[in-house]
Amino acid sequence: MDQENNHSTKNVARSAFWASFLFYGLIAFEFFYMFSPFAAYIYSIYGPGLETLNLSGSTSWLISFFLPHIARETQSLFITWHEVIGMTLFLGGFLAFLVGAAQIYRSKLKNSGAVFGGIYNYIRHPQYLALMVSSFGMVLVWPRYLVLFGFVTVCFAYFFLARIEERSCKQKFDGYKEYCSQTGMFLPPAIEQLFHYLPRPQKRWSRIMTSLALYICVLMMIFFAARALHLYSVNNLYTHITEHEVYLSLGQIDADEIAEIVHMVKSDSSVAASLVEFQDPDQRFINYMMPASLFVSEVPMYIPEGETPTHEWPGEKDQNRYKIIYSLAQFGPESQAKGQQILLQAVNKIPVLEVWINRKSQIIEKILYSTPDQDYEGMPVPVF
């Protein structure tokens, strides 16, 4: 009976592992296609799921970003470079995974039994640890709340799968039990030793309920940490905020300069006339400010023929000619934000107007009436 239970538990754990791995793989794929020429086409695969989550106020926040994706330059060094840090962790973890995999498959080809040397001399599951590091890197690169929760789920799946594999290895390989006593599962023994003092239920269902409670607690802790990062990120953007509008600069610019540009644009009679139909007090705006030569795919805008939307650094562009893309902020059901909360709660935006200005001569160069987003067709994409 014990063997049947172990076999059943192993199958359940493996199924959970591959399900969560597939889920997280799709999330990682979302990031890569967003930077590919086929983004608009492949995004239709994810669109229905994101739109479904956006139908309810209880789930719409899951698709929000808690770190910037559109704004490239911020007042925080970490927030500015979080994608670079994340990509470094992602690639580093993937390379470490390949190193561990090479040791395992070399041992299998030689039929030399369990691997105790190399990186396995320090921890028993370097491949799972590498995948955790890589997954955390993806959280920083593509920081939706949904991605964060997927990361936690995958980590728990790795832990239980590692436990099951160790029970099997202790039966199959001589010396594996002693090896376990001298090494850590994912961290050095000196660190993991601290967790040995935690109480461990003896009954199977007690262990299951304890694990479930721990999983929920970790999700709650990671959620509150992400919310704090979300607020920290918004506080460190270059913005000009009123009760109904947020002017968000994608690059570094002084607050007084943003206010000056906003005043110049709002004072222009042509701009005022173009915006008069959007004076409903219930409407909220997210207005993106950037060099005129910068074109970003997640901000619906006029794209000249031959230009390709990118995520280049705004500071590298001509700072004399700017543009502001006025867009109506969209929220989840039963949400009505004001001021800074517009950025914190918005899940999408609808383009309205595009104003090109010459900062040096203080003139409005042109006004373009925005068309609906042709790439993502209103599907939820990052808003800051």
* Sign of torsion over alpha carbons 89, 93, 95, 96: positive
Give which of 215, 128, 154 is closest to 27, Cα–Cα. 154
Residue 317: the pLDDT is 87
pLDDT band, very low/low/confident/very high, at 249 (cuts 50, 70, 90): very high
> Does residue 310 contact residue 291 with C-beta atoms inside 8 Å?
no
Q: How far apart are CA 133 and CA 92, in angstroms?
A: 8
Q: How far apart are CA 356 and CA 226, in angstroms?
A: 35
pLDDT digits (tens, 9 = 90+) for 96-113: 888 877 777 777 777 666
Domain boundary assignment for the chain: 2-232, 237-369
Neighbouring C-beta atoms of residue 195, cutoff 10 Å: 11
Radius of gyration of the chain (CA): 25
Determine which of 9-23, 49-63, 159-173, 179-193 has the lowest per-residue pLDDT on average.
Answer: 9-23
pLDDT digits (tens, 9 = 90+) for 203-237: 777 767 877 888 899 999 999 999 999 999 999 99
Find tokens 């002084």 and name the residue: 254
Q: How far apart are CA 287 and CA 350, in angstroms?
A: 10
Alpha helix stretches (DSSP H) within the chain = 2-34, 39-53, 77-110, 126-141, 145-172, 176-182, 189-192, 204-235, 255-267, 269-275, 341-345
Q: Is domain 237-369 annotated with CATH 3.10.450?
A: yes
> In the predicted model, what is the mean pLDDT of the chain?
78
> Does residue 86 contact residue 138 with C-beta atoms inside 8 Å?
yes
Q: How far apart are CA 152 and CA 156, in angstroms?
A: 6
Q: How far apart are CA 37 and CA 210, in angstroms?
A: 46
Q: Write the DSSP assignment of 120-134 as a string of letters.
A: GGTBS-HHHHHHHHH
Q: Which amino acid is at 40?
A: A
> Does residue 142 contact residue 50 with C-beta atoms inside 8 Å?
no
Q: How far apart are CA 315 and CA 66, in angstroms?
A: 23
**HEC string for 352-374:** EEEEEEECCCCEEEEEEECCCCC
Return the CATH number of the domain spanning residue range 2-232. 1.20.120
Determine which of 131-140, 148-157, 190-199, 213-222 has the lowest per-residue pLDDT on average.
Answer: 190-199
Q: How far apart are CA 213 and CA 207, in angstroms?
A: 10
Q: How far apart are CA 154 and CA 131, in angstroms?
A: 9
* Sign of torsion over alpha carbons 220, 221, 222, 227: positive
Give which of 295, 289, 324, 298 is closest to 379, Cα–Cα. 298
pLDDT band, very low/low/confident/very high, at 202 (cuts 50, 70, 90): low
Q: How far apart are CA 92 and CA 313, in angstroms?
A: 24
- Strand-pair partners of 245: 285
Q: How far apart are CA 62 and CA 280, in angstroms?
A: 28
